[in-house]
């Protein structure tokens, strides 16, 4: 028996050495080549409406709000590393970087195939079960893990498409403490896809920054975290275990992992044992409605090596219907071991929501904000300054101007850069139009699930900004980026004006 164990141990060690060598040879230069409804009482009422896709996706993947993933061909995972190809080197910029301190010009690419979602099938060769003794021997001792204190910090959620680098810069200026890159698929990263690696880029203002990855199997995830650790400067790596979209779930990744605790275990333990960077996970309450699961796993999630877990208070089946179940989030936070930080997520839209969550459950480390920050990125300022900010349309326009400036810096100020900046601005405007000025509300604060009737703002710009018409968003983009070409149309990827259909968390 002991002899067999010894042989297994030796071959595993040999395998690990080989993988390390392969990585060494293929060391990638990771740079890109430019790389929901109640009525509301309003003091005024009335407004404009109508409708108006640019081919797009760029650093943010596909048109459907989902990351771009590869086709279904069954690539042998063990060969994956040998297929890594060096990416095109980019121009350099001092404030943005991705990997190994490598700087680039921040130019993203609008992918020709961005309308497609591609998920590379992950090989199923990996066992789902308990870690073997040899796995454990490779584990980084807990003392060697770097620690991050998330307590009380304002965490801007990972947001596919809209949570791009220029947008995160805006949120940093407005008070966000923690930022995270858009979800990147492990298989795409392992294939060296430039557009996927672009999702991991960090701006120098992002002083507490993580990246989010999504994979189904421990070996894929482990290879990915190892590469990220080598090539990127990130403070933590988050594993998405909440993405509800079919194409991800059908490959066994995202929220699908919520149905397979042993796989969750092997993914978290393998990733955590590979790097000394903190590994965090983002989960939903469970897969099926009415069958919450995370409370029974929360102690294990800590023991498996995660430093923090964010619980989005909805099931996969629920998507965005109904309000997030904060009582359940609290239950999870109370059951968590002391060394596992628990962050709550769902529907935070004002400083009062934030205060309530923290006051109701001191065991919560912090909260993550997603749509609230898309609709009004100044929510971070409101929380820090403990006030409702009756922001004027001029102040809002200034925020958009900052975004455009950051966008042109990031994607370039040539024709293509302007086109990309406009595309992502329009995606964002499909959220910002949901904001109702504080001064127009009879009931304060606004709620995320309110659907506002059309209304007249206090000036023409405020009225224009309230419009859910793509034609009006295009008009706003023209105020900032000049005329659009003849025949230009736009349809938002996330269809936010149809109220939160297909988001990834
Ligand atoms: C446009 C959009 C994109 C999203 N992309 C991601 C993502 O890439 N990764 C992820 O874990 N969650 C993603 N989510 C989910 C959010 O991070 C968050 O969990 C969810 O929206 C609930 O928070 P909220 O009620 O504050 O919006 C996305 C949500 C939206 C609206």
Q: Where do the domains of the chain lie?
A: 2-37+47-385
Looking at ligand 1, which residue's alpha carbon is closest to its atom 11? 505
pLDDT tens per residue, range 22-45: 333 333 332 232 323 333 444 444
Q: Tell me the pLDDT band of 263, cut-offs 50, 70 and 90.
A: very high
Look up the CATH number of domain 2-37+47-385. 3.20.20.70
Pocket of ligand 1 (CB under 6 A): 157-160, 162, 182-183, 212, 240, 242, 282, 312, 345-348, 369-372, 494, 500, 503-505
- Does the structure show a pLDDT above 70 at 191? yes
> Residue written as tokens 């990031």?
410
SS3 369: strand
pLDDT tens per residue, range 15-24: 333 333 333 3
Mean pLDDT of 184-188: 98
Average pLDDT across the chain, whole number: 79
Q: Which of 255, 251, 389, 269 is nearest to 317 (CA)?
A: 255
- How high is the pLDDT of residue 193? 98
- Residue 99's DSSP bridge partners are 102, 232
Q: CB–CB of 271/265 below 8 Å? A: no
Identify the helix (H) or strand (E) that includes residue 366: strand 366-369
Kindly state the greatest CA–CA separation across the chain. Answer: 81
SS3 322: coil
Q: Tell me the pLDDT band of 120, cut-offs 50, 70 and 90.
A: low
Question: How many angstroms is it from 178 CA to the middle of ligand 1?
Answer: 15
Question: How many angstroms is it from 18 CA to the middle of ligand 1?
Answer: 38
Q: What are the phi and psi torsion angles at 501 (to 5°)?
A: -95, -50
Looking at ligand 1, which residue's alpha carbon is closest to its atom 12? 505
Mean pLDDT of 442-467: 95
Which atom of ligand 1 lies closest to the CA of 505?
A: 12
- Orientation angle between helical segments 261-274 and 218-231, nearest 10 degrees: 30
Q: CB–CB of 491/55 below 8 Å? A: no
Label the pairing between strands 202-203 and 96-99.
antiparallel
- How many CA within 13 A on the CB side of residue 146? 14
- How many CA within 13 A on the CB side of residue 117? 19
| Residue 178 DSSP code | B
In angstroms, the first-to-last Cα distance of the chain is 45
Per-residue burial over 311-324, b = 16 or more CB atoms within 10 Å of its CB, e = otherwise? bbbbbbebbbeeeb
Q: CB–CB of 391/437 below 8 Å? A: yes
- Does the structure show a pLDDT above 70 at 369? yes
CA–CA separation, 249 vs 267, rounded Å?
Answer: 15
Looking at ligand 1, which residue's alpha carbon is closest to its atom 26? 370
Percent pLDDT > 70 in the chain is 69
Distance of CA 8 to the CA centre of its chain: 38
Q: What are the phi and psi torsion angles at 280 (to 5°)?
A: -120, 160
What sign does the CA torsion over 66, 68, 74, 77 have?
Answer: negative
58, 329, 431 from 473: Cα distances, Å: 20, 36, 10
CA–CA separation, 469 vs 56, rounded Å?
Answer: 19
Q: CB–CB of 28/227 below 8 Å? A: yes
350 vs 41 pLDDT, higher one: 350
- Does the structure show a pLDDT above 90 at 9? no
What are the residues whose beta carbons fall under 8 Å from the beta carbon of 321, sequence distance 6 or more?
Answer: 36
Distance of CA 285 to the CA centre of its chain: 18
Q: Which of 78, 98, 82, 81 is nearest to 90 (CA)?
A: 98
Q: Which of 211, 183, 186, 213 is nearest to 77 (CA)?
A: 186
Q: Which of 421, 409, 437 is nearest to 476 (CA)?
A: 421
pLDDT tens per residue, range 314-334: 999 887 778 999 999 999 999
Q: CB–CB of 469/52 below 8 Å? A: yes
Q: What are the phi and psi torsion angles at 190 (to 5°)?
A: -65, -25
Helix (H) and strand (E) counts for the chain? 18, 12
Mean pLDDT of 162-176: 98
Q: Which of 258, 273, 182, 276 is nearest to 219 (CA)?
A: 273
Which atom of ligand 1 lies closest to the CA of 157?
A: 17
pLDDT tens per residue, range 155-166: 999 999 999 999
pTM, to two decimals = 0.79
Q: Which of 325, 343, 383, 503 to mutate to test the pocket of ligand 1 (most atoms within 8 A of CB)?
A: 503
SS3 2: helix
Q: Tell me the pLDDT band of 145, cut-offs 50, 70 and 90.
A: confident
Q: Which of 370, 429, 431, 502 to mutate to test the pocket of ligand 1 (most atoms within 8 A of CB)?
A: 370
- How high is the pLDDT of residue 122? 60
User: Which one from 99, 171, 243, 361 is the annotated catalytic residue?
Assistant: 243
- How high is the pLDDT of residue 293? 94
Q: Which two tokens stand for residue 485?
A: 């070409």
Any catalytic annotation for residue 243?
yes
CA–CA separation, 435 vs 376, rounded Å?
Answer: 7
Return the beta strands (E) in 108-233 as ranges. 154-156, 179-180, 184-185, 202-203, 209-214
Distance of CA 284 to the CA centre of its chain: 14
CA–CA separation, 446 vs 431, rounded Å?
Answer: 14
149, 173, 178, 186, 443 from 208: Cα distances, Å: 10, 14, 5, 22, 35
Question: How many angstroms is it from 224 CA to the middle of ligand 1?
Answer: 22
Using CA atoms of 281, 287, 292, 295 in order, give the dihedral in degrees to the nearest 10. -20
């Amino acid at each position: 028996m002991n002899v067999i164990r010894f042989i297994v141990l030796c071959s595993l060690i040999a395998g690990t050495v080989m993988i390390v060598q392969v990585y060494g040879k293929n060391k990638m230069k990771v740079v890109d080549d430019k790389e929901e409804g109640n009525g509301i009482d309003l003091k005024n009422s009335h407004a404009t409406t109508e409708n108006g896709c640019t081919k797009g996706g760029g650093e943010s993947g596909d048109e459907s709000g989902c990351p771009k993933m590869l086709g279904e061909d069954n690539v042998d995972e063990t060969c994956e590393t040998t297929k890594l190809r060096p990416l095109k080197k980019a121009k350099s910029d001092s404030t943005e970087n991705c990997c190994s301190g490598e700087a680039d010009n921040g130019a993203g690419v609008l992918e020709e195939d961005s309308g497609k979602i591609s998920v590379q099938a992950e090989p199923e060769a990996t066992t789902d079960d308990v870690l073997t003794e040899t796995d454990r021997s490779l584990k980084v001792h807990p003392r060697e893990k770097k620690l991050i204190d998330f307590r009380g910090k304002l965490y801007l959620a990972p947001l596919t498409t809209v949570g791009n680098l220029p947008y995160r810069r805006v949120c940093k200026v407005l008070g966000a403490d923690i930022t995270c890159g858009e979800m990147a698929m492990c298989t795409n990263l392992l294939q060296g896809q430039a557009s996927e690696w672009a999702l991991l880029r960090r701006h120098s203002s992002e002083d507490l920054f993580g990246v989010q990855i999504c994979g189904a199997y421990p070996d894929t995830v482990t290879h990915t975290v190892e590469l990220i650790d080598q090539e990127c400067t990130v403070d933590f790596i988050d594993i998405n275990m909440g993405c509800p979209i079919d194409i991800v779930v059908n490959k066994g990744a995202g929220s699908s992992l919520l149905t397979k605790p042993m796989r969750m275990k092997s993914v978290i333990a393998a990733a955590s044992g590979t790097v000394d960077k903190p590994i965090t996970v983002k989960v939903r309450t469970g897969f099926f409605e009415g069958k919450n699961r995370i409370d029974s796993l929360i102690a294990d999630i800590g023991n498996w090596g995660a430093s923090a877990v964010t619980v989005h208070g909805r099931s996969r089946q629920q998507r965005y219907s109904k309000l997030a179940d904060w009582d359940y989030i609290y239950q999870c936070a109370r059951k968590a071991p002391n060394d596992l930080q628990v962050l709550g997520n769902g529907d935070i839209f004002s400083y009062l929501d934030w205060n309530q969550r923290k006051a109701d459950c001191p065991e919560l480390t912090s909260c993550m904000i997603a749509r609230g920050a898309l609709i009004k990125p100044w929510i971070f300022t409101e929380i820090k300054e403990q006030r409702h900010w009756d922001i004027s349309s001029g102040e809002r326009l200034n925020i958009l101007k900052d975004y455009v400036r950051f966008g042109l810096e990031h994607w370039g100020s040539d024709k293509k850069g302007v086109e990309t900046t406009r595309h992502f601005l329009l995606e964002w405007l499909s959220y910002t139009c949901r904001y109702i000025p504080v001064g127009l509300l009879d009931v304060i604060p606004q709620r995320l699930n309110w659907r506002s009737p059309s209304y007249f703002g206090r000036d023409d710009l405020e009225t224009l900004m309230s419009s859910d018409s793509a034609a009006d968003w295009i008009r706003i983009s023209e105020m900032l980026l000049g005329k659009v070409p003849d025949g230009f149309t736009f349809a938002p990827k996330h269809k936010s004006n149809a109220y939160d259909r297909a988001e990834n968390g």
